[in-house]
Amino acid sequence: MKEQVGQRFARLATDAVVRRPALWPVFRPLVRRQFDRLAPVWAEMRSPDASASFLAALDRVDMPVQRALDVGTGTGLGALEIAKRFPDAEIVGVDVSAAMLEKARKLAPGIEFVEGDASALPFGDGEFDLLTHLNMIPFLDETARVLRPGGWTVYAFSAGPQTPIYVAPDRMRRELERRGFTDFAEITAGRGNAVLARRGEGV
Ligand SMILES: C[S@@+](CC[C@H](N)C(=O)[O-])C[C@H]1O[C@@H](n2cnc3c(N)ncnc32)[C@H](O)[C@@H]1O
């Protein structure tokens, strides 16, 4: 019951923040508390195919990656998958939940984890070649800002429309297009789906 309420809240927060990013400060303390509470059990809760669509999207990133950021990294699952696909890349994971990051640092000791908010990322413009999101509320203006022109972004949802934090592909595409993204691909793998897009060169 408590879990279902938490999942409904996650979906509500996602819908509201994609529609009106200015609402995020209302949800922020509640979301952070929710994930601080889930941190001790999060890694064990993940199903074995949780990264399938994320991995399928990474496979289609056809450029060298020097610096990548996994946004809403939680216990670092996505960051670890990037490290496997791009072993020479410098990888950073960012999250608002200190408890999640504490776990991530133990599970992925070679990766840098930074406490920070995706609505105001603590990074400079165009710093990253790749920005990934696995089951994460999209903050699209910040994605466009910290990604270099021509860089790729991935939004993956482990259980497709059943994922508590979920945005449908056509909505993702509209939001990304408004910010000058191109080269969309919609990917399905396992129970999940992902959207892959590239930041326009002239944007
Ligand atoms: C559903 S969990 C996904 C964690 C991980 N990506 C995975 O799939 O295992 C969502 C994560 O995003 C984080 N998060 C939510 N909103 C955030 C924000 N605005 N900035 C940074 N992290 C955020 C939460 O703390 C949580 O760790």
Report pLDDT digits (tens) over 118-169: 999 999 999 999 999 999 999 999 999 999 999 999 999 999 999 999 999 9
Judge if the beta carbon of residue 54 lies within 6 A of ligand 1.
no
Judge if the beta carbon of residue 82 lies within 6 A of ligand 1.
no
Judge if the beta carbon of residue 134 lies within 6 A of ligand 1.
yes
Judge if the beta carbon of residue 192 lies within 6 A of ligand 1.
no
Q: Model pTM greater than 0.95?
A: yes
Report the C-alpha gap between 67 and 105 in whole angstroms. 18
Share the mean pLDDT of the chain: 95
Average pLDDT over residues 93-117: 97
- Structure tokens belonging to residue 63: 């450029």
**Ligand 1 atom having least distance to the Cα of 164:** 1
- Segment (H or E) for 128: strand 128-134
The whole-number pLDDT of residue 203 equals: 58
Nearest CA to ligand 1 atom 27: 74
DSSP state of 181: E
Q: Determine how many CB atoms are found less than 10 A away from the CB of residue 65.
A: 19
Rounded (10°) angle between helices 98-107 and 24-45: 30
Judge if the beta carbon of residue 79 lies within 6 A of ligand 1.
no
CA of 72 to the centre of ligand 1 (A): 3
The whole-number pLDDT of residue 48 equals: 87
* Lowest-pLDDT range of 6-15, 29-38, 69-78: 6-15
Is 1's pLDDT higher than 70? no
